[in-house]
């Protein structure tokens, strides 16, 4: 999900000024910070393993022996919240939280260093302001007992407090290590001045009523994201400032709402599918599928482009990150594609478009998030997502056919039937994994969360006993990476849940319902406007934060308009993917350029045929409900 290549808070040495002397106190702080970092990573890795073991044994006990563990979901939810918060700490340390870079990408390193210092200072100030509310929330919950385990609710709420404290230490450490003292002082003065101004204006904000929503949730959030502040913290800036300066609601409601948003057990599928995607790469499952597809159609005009689309259709959504999907496919195909005379801009554009096409393919993390925040059946979403992706793939195939008419096939290799058979045998375990996962969910063998553990065990067994290439030394880094990416995603979910609660209690949701009801054209007009709105949201926020923030507001309107929820979900997810990978604001497009090692200036000129095809596919999905619900 990380789309900025340079890490958040890490300015170039030249931009940060001359090296600063390292004092004994600074060295001691850094040593303590490194110790905390190692402990945090080890704890997060153990929590990932614990969740796999807990859900795996619980699923096996229920399905094989008809003896479910009544306490397993409760324990898994508690451990999951700790995993999410520790993962968020790791992501902050590594600079892996999702951020909008469209506004700062073209700035000089010197100016970016100043903005990074300001963004980090805002993060630190925000976390400092959340420590006491998190403690109050913990004290409120510690006296309660969980329904099944009968342990204190404080075990769950303590994760918010510990996470806020550790992220505060991390933000301070990033400032000390990667900003000059002048930059730190200037950023501190700016934040202090802003705080004083907000205190002075607080009575005016209270009198302004819902008019303050535009200030805090539009102006403040956009400004925070524009300077490079991670999206999750930008959301929290708007929410905390709105509650603190415009209402009398205690700030402890923020960690409470965040905890609720991050505690949905269905979201446990996020880290487990992220882990599964990494294990597929370690075990060789993805490479086997690609090699087989190449042997089938790689010798035809446009054959490797069709392989790229087919490979993305098969492996997409399992890793939880489009970067992982594209990185697993592109390096294996791009060199040979270039030998055949394909323009590198066309290849990068196709790679980016294939990520859009595959947005609705299960087990997509965005689909899981939709089910979590809207209550739509995950099994129905998994079933409904295959056909919209196929429509998108067919639209891109038409573009590939047109562009590859003059392709040079002199270097193309033709495989014998015997070679194809051997490659099929090698690819069968990989080809079988998506089928196993989707069948298990649709047939009710396991939930969308539990089925990921089946995939994890499957990938490990295939890598160890079939391909015999499983690299055990890579498991620990993969576990830490899983926690980091999951923490980055889930902190956005928690922050967006807090915003959604604030917007709902302010009465904004009712106003939005009334406004959307005025859209001309009835149901069709509402769907087209929704698709265009989700394109814009996707280009700014990405899929997960956008759906968590606006899903609870827009899906009830869709129900009132008589729109099938699965159909609406497919429109939303496909449109947000379109926005995410559409230049100049779609940050996913620049991620594809980085993976393809092509300048965005070169690729952007070649992107429009693929985007036009995908837009046609989106309109078909929007106006023909059968594409999404025909097989339900």
**So where are the chain's domains?**
13-200, 266-342+377-482
Q: Would you give the DSSP letter of residue 217?
A: I
Task: Write down the pLDDT at residue 319.
Answer: 53
Q: Would you give the DSSP letter of residue 340?
A: T
Residue whose pair of structure tokens reads 């979910």 in the numeric block? 493
Report the alpha-carbon distance of residue 349 to residue 208 in Å, rounded: 47
pTM of the model: 0.75
HSE-up (13 A, CA, CB side) for residue 458: 22
Report the alpha-carbon distance of residue 67 to residue 70 in Å, rounded: 9
Neighbouring C-beta atoms of residue 290, cutoff 10 Å: 23
Tell me the CA distances in angstroms from 476 to 44, 275, 322, one per residue in order. Answer: 10, 11, 22
Both tokens of residue 428?
Answer: 């069968």
Task: Write down the pLDDT at residue 232.
Answer: 85
Report the alpha-carbon distance of residue 345 to residue 171 in Å, rounded: 38
Give me the sign of the Cα torsion angle 334, 339, 342, 343: positive
Report the alpha-carbon distance of residue 11 to residue 110 in Å, rounded: 8
Task: Write down the pLDDT at residue 86.
Answer: 95
Strand-pair partners of 415: none
- With beta carbons less than 8 A apart as the criterion, state whether 92 and 172 touch: no
Task: Write down the pLDDT at residue 11.
Answer: 41
Q: How high is the mean pLDDT in each 10-residue block of the chain (632 residues)?
A: 44 42 64 84 94 86 76 87 93 82 76 89 94 92 87 90 92 87 93 93 83 84 86 88 89 90 76 79 77 80 82 67 66 71 80 84 79 83 89 92 75 81 85 76 70 83 82 88 85 81 73 70 85 80 70 82 91 88 72 72 82 94 92 80
Question: Which residues, other chains included, contact 366 with Cβ-Cβ below 8 Å and sequence gap of 6+?
Answer: 359, 543, 544, 547, 573, 576, 577
């Amino acid at each position: 999900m990380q789309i900025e290549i340079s890490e958040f808070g890490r300015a170039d040495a030249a931009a940060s000024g001359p090296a600063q002397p390292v004092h004994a106190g600074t060295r001691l702080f850094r040593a303590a910070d490194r110790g905390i970092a190692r402990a945090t990573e080890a704890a997060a890795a153990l929590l990932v393993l614990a969740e796999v073991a807990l859900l795996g044994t619980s699923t096996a006990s229920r399905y094989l022996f008809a003896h479910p563990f009544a306490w397993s979901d409760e324990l898994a939810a508690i451990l999951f919240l700790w995993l999410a918060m520790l993962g968020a700490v790791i992501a902050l340390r590594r600079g892996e939280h999702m951020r909008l870079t469209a506004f700062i990408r073209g700035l000089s390193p010197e100016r970016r260093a100043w903005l990074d210092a300001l963004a980090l200072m805002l993060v630190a100030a925000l976390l400092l302001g959340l420590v006491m509310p998190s403690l109050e929330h913990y004290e409120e919950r510690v006296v309660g007992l969980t329904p099944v385990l009968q342990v204190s609710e404080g075990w769950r709420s303590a994760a918010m407090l510990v996470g806020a404290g550790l992220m505060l230490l991390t933000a301070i450490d990033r400032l000390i290590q990667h900003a000059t003292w002048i930059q730190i002082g200037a950023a501190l003065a700016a934040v202090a001045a802003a705080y004083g101004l907000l205190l002075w204006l607080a009575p005016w904000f209270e009198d302004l009523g819902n008019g303050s929503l535009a200030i805090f949730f539009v102006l403040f959030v956009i400004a925070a994201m524009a300077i490079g502040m991670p999206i999750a913290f930008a959301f929290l800036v708007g929410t905390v400032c709105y509650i603190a300066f415009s209402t009398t609601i205690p700030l402890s409601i923020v960690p409470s709402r965040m905890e609720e948003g991050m505690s949905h057990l269905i979201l446990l599928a996020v880290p487990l599918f992220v882990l599964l995607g990494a294990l597929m790469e370690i075990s060789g499952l993805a490479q086997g599928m690609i090699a087989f597809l190449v042997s089938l159609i790689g010798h035809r005009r446009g054959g490797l482009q069709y392989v790229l689309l087919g490979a993305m259709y098969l492996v997409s959504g399992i890793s939880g990150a489009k970067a992982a999907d594209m990185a697993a496919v592109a390096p294996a195909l791009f060199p040979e594609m270039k030998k055949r005379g394909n323009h590198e801009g066309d290849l990068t554009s196709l790679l980016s478009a294939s990520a859009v096409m595959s947005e609705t393919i299960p087990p997509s993390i965005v689909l899981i998030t939709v089910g979590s925040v809207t209550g739509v059946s995950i099994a129905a979403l998994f079933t409904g997502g295959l056909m919209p992706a196929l429509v998108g793939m067919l639209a891109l195939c038409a573009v590939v056919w047109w562009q590859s008419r003059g392709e040079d096939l002199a270097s193309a290799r033709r495989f014998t039937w015997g070679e194809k058979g051997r490659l099929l045998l090698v690819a069968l375990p990989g080809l079988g994994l998506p089928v196993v996962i989707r069948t298990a969910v649709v047939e009710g063998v396991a939930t969308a969360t539990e089925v990921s553990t089946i995939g994890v065990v499957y990938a490990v067994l295939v890598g160890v006993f079939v391909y015999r290439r499983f690299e055990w030394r890579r498991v620990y880094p993969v576990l830490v990476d899983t926690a980091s990416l999951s923490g980055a995603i889930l902190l956005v979910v928690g922050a967006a849940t807090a915003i959604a609660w604030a917007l709902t209690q302010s009465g904004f949701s009712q106003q939005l319902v009334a406004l959307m009801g005025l859209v001309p054209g009835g149901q069709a007009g509402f769907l087209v406007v929704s698709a265009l709105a989700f394109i814009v949201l996707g280009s700014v926020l990405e899929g997960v934060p956008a759906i968590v923030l606006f899903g609870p507001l827009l899906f009830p309107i869709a129900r009132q308009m008589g729109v099938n929820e699965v159909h609406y979900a497919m429109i939303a997810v496909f449109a947000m993917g379109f926005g995410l990978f559409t230049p100049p604001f779609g940050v996913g497009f620049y991620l594809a350029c980085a993976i393809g090692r092509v300048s965005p200036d070169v690729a952007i000129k070649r992107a429009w045929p693929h985007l036009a095809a995908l837009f046609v596919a989106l309109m078909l999905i929007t106006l023909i409900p059968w594409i999404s619900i025909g097989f339900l």
